[in-house]
């Protein structure tokens, strides 16, 4: 976790060690960064900055609390129809947004 000195806002920092990347991984990382820099949607994580150094790549991203979606679904066990409708609508909204800007989520 990082904290912006200017405003005190917390940001997640994803650190990718270059030594652990295969040649194909370098290309995948570049694609991921390119996509994250293009998207702007309330249900897709926001990428603030990228710091590309000799040994590491640092992605400064919006903090997303709550864990994995699958784990949250399993933990909750039962959803009301309205809760399921809201969650499904948010997921489909973000997928539709990606498709509109020619990004396919796999």
Averaged pLDDT, groups of 10, the chain, 106 residues long: 90 94 88 94 94 94 86 84 93 95 86
Q: Please, which residues have CB within 8 angstroms of residue 37's CB and are 6 or more apart in sequence?
A: 47, 50
pLDDT of residue 66: 79
Is residue 73 located within the same domain as residue 55? Answer: no
pTM comes to 0.80
Q: Does one domain contain both 26 and 5?
A: yes
Where in the sequence is the domain holding 97, given as residue range(s)?
A: 67-106
Kindly state whether residues 60 and 77 are assigned to the same domain.
no
Number of domains in the chain: 2
- 21: CATH: 3.30.200.20
2 and 54 share one domain:
yes
- The pLDDT value recorded for residue 72 is 82
Q: What is the pLDDT of residue 71?
A: 87
3-state secondary structure of 71: helix
- 78 and 30 share a domain? no
Q: What contacts 52, CB < 8 A, 6 or more positions away?
A: 58
pLDDT attached to residue 50: 96
Residues 59 and 77 in one domain: no
């Amino acid at each position: 976790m990082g904290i912006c000195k200017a405003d005190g806002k917390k940001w997640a920092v994803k650190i990718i060690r270059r030594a652990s990347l295969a040649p194909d991984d370098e290309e995948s990382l570049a694609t991921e960064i390119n996509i994250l820099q293009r998207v702007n949607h309330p249900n897709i994580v926001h990428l603030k900055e990228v710091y590309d150094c000799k040994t590491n790549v640092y992605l400064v991203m919006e903090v997303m609390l709550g864990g994995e979606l699958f784990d949250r679904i399993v933990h909750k066990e039962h959803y009301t129809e309205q809760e399921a409708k809201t969650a499904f609508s948010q997921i489909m909204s973000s997928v539709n947004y990606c498709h509109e800007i020619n990004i396919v989520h796999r």
